[in-house]
Structures are given as C-alpha cells and as structure tokens.
Amino acid sequence: MWMETLPDGRFKYIERYKDPYTEKYKRKSVILTSDSKQAQKKAQKLLDEKIGKAEEMATLSDINLYKLVEEWFTHHKKIKQIRPSTIRAYTSQQNIIFKYIDKETLSRNADTKLFQTFFDDLNYSNDYTSSIKSQLNNVFKYAYRMGYVTENPLEKVQISYAKKDDMARDKIENKYLEKDEAEKLIKELYRRPSTYRVGRLAEFMYLTGCRIGEAVILNPQDFNADFSSVAITGTIDYGDGFRAAKKGPPKTPTSNRDIGLTPRCSAMVQRAVDENKLDSLTRNGYLPGEYIFVTKNGTPMIYSSFNRALEKAGNRVGLGHKTLTSHIFRHTHVSLLAEKGVPLVAIMERVGHEDSDITTKIYTHITKQMKADITSKLTEIGL
C-alpha cells in the first residue's frame, strides 16, 4: 500500500492486486482525511475488503462446489415458483451430496470420475438417486452458462440402478389396486379406531384421484353447496410443522382443477365434516380448525403416519406385495377410469397431470388388458 496527497489536503491510499481473469495488475484506492498510523490501518482494512470483494466476484473458476450449489439454488428459486416441499427435498439431497463430497472441492476440478464414484456408493431408491443426479445436472448446466466450468461432468455419469430381488415390485400392476383390493384395504383401515381417519382419507383419494397434499389441506369452503364437487387450488405447506400447516401453491399449473364427486364421496365428506365438529367440542387438545382429513388432534393428516398405517393394514389383508403409499389410491383411480374407457386426456385433467409417465403406463397397461378381453370374447362366440 502507498499513499498520495491530494490537492485538497486529503490522502489517497492505493493497493495493487492481480485480476484473476486477465492476470493483469489493477488498483483499488480509498480516500481519508488523515495520514496518521490509525488512518493507515483503517485504509489497509478498507482496501483489503475492496480487493477481497473484487477477487470473490472475479475468481469464477475457483468457486467451490458448496458455493456453486448455493448460488444455483438462489438463482433457481428466483426464476421459478418452487413449493416449500420442493425446497426441502432439494435441501435434503444437498445434504447427501456434501456428506460424501468435500464442500471445498473446486467446481472446475469436479470431474466425471468424482461423481461416478459418488453415485456408485449411494444406496437409495432408483427414483431418489435419479432426482439427486437431476439436481446436480442442473447445477452444472448453470455453472457452464456462467463460465465456471468448461463442460458438464454429469453428462457422462451412468447410474447403475439397483436390481430388484423381487422383480414383481417392478410390475406396473403393483402400483395400483384392483377395485376389490382397494375396497378391502379401506375396510380394514375403517375397522380399527386407530386408523379410522386414515381410512377416510384413503377413501377420498381412491374416489377422486387427489394427491395427499391436495386432500389434507381441504376445508368445507373448497366444496360447493351440496358437496357434489371440490375445487383443488393448492397443496399443503407444512414447513412449520403440521400444526401450523397452510395452503401453498399447487404442484403444477394444471393441478388447479374442479373435481366432480360421486354420491358416495359426497356423503363421506359431509360425514367427516360433522364428525370433526363433534370432536372439536368433545376432545381435549383438539386443534380448532376446519380441515377435513385430520388426526385425532385436529391437525392435517401426517404423510408418514398415513403411509405406516397403510403398510400395516396392507400386510394384514395380504397386499404387502403392493407399493403401499398414499399415491397408490391416485394410481388406482387412474386404473378404474381406464377400465371404463375414459380417454387418457380426460383422466390426466381430472387428476391434475400435465404429463406423467406413471399415468400413461397404467393407462396403457389397462387398455392392453381390455383389448385382450375383446379378442377373448370374440373367440368365445366363434368370430
């Protein structure tokens, strides 16, 4: 650092540094009214801060992996409307990434070998592993656009998907229930007081094709006067816990929709509303609120509790081979509509899908069975 005296009596302190982009020397300066030792120390501190900030902004190729992910995530949240649950999912995946990969790894040094080794060592479901790779792929697409890296190392990474010991788990028919299976499972949930409310939510999803997040945030005002239809306008945001749950944005733009309800569904919802009102008057600690599909304490039904109860009930009635999560009722609804010959586009509109691989697979599987039945019936009558 050196100092120059200005014509007006003030003092200009100057420091030189090397620009990491051009590798040429540049200057930063600060002007103070004194040349005392105290002023010189202050000037040095201010200059160090200026140079540090300039180097931080300029040293793009030296950004570490943690800072890169953080920068991409901030940018991604600004340009897209991301639901709180999606933010939590991304954050959870990032925790896994940095559990295995050093945060200080320079992005320009993060090559295909690093990520191939990372994915080879993971032991998660195929879908979850794919979602982690998708996030990292987006991070490095951003890094490439920003000039931080010269290529995307994720493009050459190959995931060795987990082999299924039980190949039946991979079958599309295990992702939905036959009508008699669904009725049997719901009846079993209703049979026990501890899972009665789980049964009510399961029945609603079975009859409407709703996602669980869309169903648990519903209140009576979302239904029309005679409960013959319901407006789906969002999904649950439980970022502050289920007791403080609120309605968040829909999963996709096509998720906003009106669903017509059958008399069975309408009667079930009205019964639930009446029973909840009674519980609010007679149960100690019941959370005041108007949500329909709630726990015994009045809070919106918790996903994990619902899925655990569902799995146990499924095992009791011989359905343990099925993929028993809340989504199975949504898939079952799709299969029932497909069996009745409802066009795929109408099904996707009802369940709020803009594009879904699983919906298409279920629809295709069911319609193939229907075509086989037609051939069989024609054969029976000698044609």
Residues in the chain predicted with pLDDT less than 70, given as ranges, are: 19-23, 54-61, 161-170, 288, 368-369, 372, 383
Of 156, 179, 210, the one marking the end of a domain is 156
Query: Is there a single domain that holds both residue 223 and residue 309?
Result: yes
Residue 383 falls inside a structural domain = no
Looking at residue 319, what is its pLDDT? Answer: 94
Residue 286 · residue 279 · CB < 8 Å: yes
Q: Which residues pair with 106 in a beta bridge?
A: 64
Q: What pLDDT sits at residue 167?
A: 46
Q: What is the mean pLDDT of the chain?
A: 87
Residue 109 pLDDT: 86
Nearest to 247 by CA among 231, 262, 259: 231
State the CATH number of the domain containing residue 98: 1.10.150.130
pLDDT for position 164: 45
> Among 124, 156, 188, which residue terminates a domain?
156
Domain assignment present for residue 346? The answer is yes
Q: Which long-range contacts (CB under 8 A, 24 or more apart) does 111-115 make?
A: 111/153, 112/153, 112/154, 112/156, 112/157, 114/153, 115/153, 115/154, 115/157
Total tally of structural domains belonging to the chain: 3
Same structural domain for residues 152 and 247?
no
Residue 355 β-bridge partners: none
Whether 217 and 332 map to the same domain: the answer is yes
The whole-angstrom separation of Cα 50 and Cα 354 is 49
Q: Within this chain, do residues 263 and 289 fall inside the same structural domain, yes or no? A: yes
> Which helix (H) or strand (E) covers residue 140, if one does?
helix 126-146
DSSP 5-67: E-TTS-EEEEEEEE-TTT--EEEEEEEES--SHHHHHHHHHHHHHHHHHHHHHH-GGG-BHHH
Tell me, yes or no, whether 148 and 243 share the same domain.
Answer: no
One domain, residues 223 and 239: yes
Q: How far apart are CA 128 and CA 134, in angstroms?
A: 10
pLDDT score recorded for residue 169: 45
In a domain, 381, yes or no: no
In a domain, 380, yes or no: no
pLDDT at residue number 170: 56
Query: Which of residues 126, 156, 186 is at a domain's end?
Result: 156
Same domain, 182 and 241: yes
pLDDT at 20: 59
Domain extent at residue 143: 65-156
Same domain, 191 and 285: yes
